[in-house]
C-alpha cells in the first residue's frame, strides 16, 4: 500500500556509513558513521560542520550521486538502493536540483544557455515556456542584463546566482546546495540567502544547504551539525 505522500518525509537518511578507501591498501577513512536525518517536504535545513567532516559526501548520497556503504537514503519513501541507474538518473533530473561547491558553469555557453542545460539534457530543443521561466528566474535574481554574457565575465556572486537558477529551472522538489555562499562577500551572500529563502517560502522548495555561514544557517532556520560522522540537531 502506498502511503499518503504527506505522511512520508521527503528525505530520510537512516544510519548511513561511508568510508573512502585510498588506493594501495592504506586504511579506509571513515567519514560518515551512522548519520541519520529526516527532512519533511517544505523544510529548509542548514548542514554545518568543520572542513573535511563529510558534508559534501552526505549531499552526494542524498542527491543519488554516490552510494552509502551501509544504511539507507530514502527519497519520498523510496530507498535509492532499490533503483537502477535509469531510475536514479530520472529522479535526479525530475526531483533534485544541485548547486555544487564550485559552480560548474560551462565557460563557452551564455548565462541563459547555462541555466537551460538541465532542460536540454532531456530534449533536443527547449520548450518556450521553460525559456520564459529561465528569463523570469534570471530577472528575479537580477541577471537580466547579464543573460547573454559568458560566465567568465560575471562576478562570483552573479555566477552563484546563475548556478542557483540552473538548479531550480525544472522546479525540483528538493534543492541541495553545497556552500552556495562560499567565496562571496557579505552583500552577495545575503542575496543568495534571500533567493534561497524565497524559493523555500514562496515556491515550497525543500532546501538542504551546506554552509559555513552562521548567517545563512540562521536564515534557513533548522541547523544540523556534522560531528564525528553523525548529524546532531542544534
Here the cell at position 205 is 522548495
Considering beta carbons, is residue 173 or 223 the nearer one to ligand ATP? Answer: 223
Under the binding rule (CB under 6 A), the answer on residue 52 touching ligand ATP is yes
Residues in CB range of 220: below 8 A, 6 or more apart = 44, 45, 46, 196, 197, 200, 207, 209
Query: Residue 37: CB partners within 8 Å, gap ≥ 6?
Result: 11, 12, 13, 45, 224, 231
Alpha carbon 36 to its chain centroid, in Å, reads 18
Residue 58 or 137 having the CB closest to ligand ATP: 58
Residue 72 CA to residue 17 CA, distance in Å, equals: 9
- Choose between 54 and 172: whose C-beta lies nearer to ligand ATP: 54
**Residue 183 CB: number of other CB atoms within 10 A?**
14
Q: How far is the CB of 22 from ligand ATP (least distance, A)?
A: 6
* Residue 53 binds to ligand ATP (criterion: CB under 6 A): yes
Contact string (CB under 6 A) for ligand ATP, positions 7-36, x = contact:
-------------x--------x-x-----
**Smallest gap from residue 50 Cβ to Mg ion (A):** 10
Compare residues 22 and 128 and give the one whose CB is closer to ligand ATP. 22
Cα dihedral 18, 23, 24, 30 in deg (nearest 10) = -20
User: Which residue ranges make up the site for ligand ATP (CB under 6 A)?
Assistant: 20, 29, 31, 49, 51-57, 101
User: Which residue ranges make up the site for Mg ion (CB under 5 A)?
Assistant: 56
Amino acid at each position: 500500500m502506498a502511503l499518503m505522500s504527506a505522511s512520508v518525509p521527503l528525505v530520510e537518511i537512516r544510519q548511513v556509513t561511508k568510508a573512502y578507501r585510498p588506493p594501495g591498501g592504506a586504511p579506509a577513512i571513515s567519514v560518515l558513521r551512522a548519520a541519520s536525518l529526516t527532512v519533511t517536504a517544505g523544510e529548509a535545513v542548514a548542514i554545518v560542520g568543520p572542513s573535511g567532516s563529510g558534508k559534501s559526501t552526505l549531499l552526494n548520497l542524498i542527491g543519488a550521486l554516490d552510494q552509502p556503504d551501509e544504511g539507507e537514503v530514502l527519497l519520498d519513501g523510496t530507498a535509492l538502493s532499490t533503483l537502477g541507474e535509469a531510475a536514479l538518473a530520472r529522479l535526479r533530473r525530475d526531483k533534485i536540483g544541485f548547486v555544487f561547491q564550485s559552480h560548474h558553469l560551462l565557460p563557452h555557453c551564455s548565462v541563459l544557455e547555462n541555466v537551460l542545460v538541465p532542460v536540454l539534457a532531456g530534449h533536443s530543443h527547449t520548450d518556450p515556456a521553460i525559456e520564459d521561466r529561465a528569463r523570469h528566474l534570471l530577472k528575479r535574481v537580477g541577471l537580466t542584463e547579464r543573460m547573454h554574457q559568458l560566465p567568465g565575465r560575471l562576478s562570483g556572486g552573479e555566477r552563484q546566482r546563475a548556478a542557483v537558477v540552473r538548479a531550480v529551472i525544472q522546479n525540483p522538489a528538493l534543492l541541495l546546495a553545497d556552500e552556495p555562499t562560499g567565496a562571496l562577500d557579505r552583500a552577495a551572500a545575503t542575496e543568495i540567502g534571500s533567493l534561497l529563502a524565497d524559493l523555500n517560502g514562496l515556491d515550497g522548495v525543500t532546501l538542504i544547504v551546506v554552509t559555513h555561514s552562521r548567517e545563512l544557517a540562521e536564515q534557513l532556520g533548522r541547523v544540523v551539525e556534522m560531528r564525528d560522522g553523525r548529524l546532531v540537531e542544534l
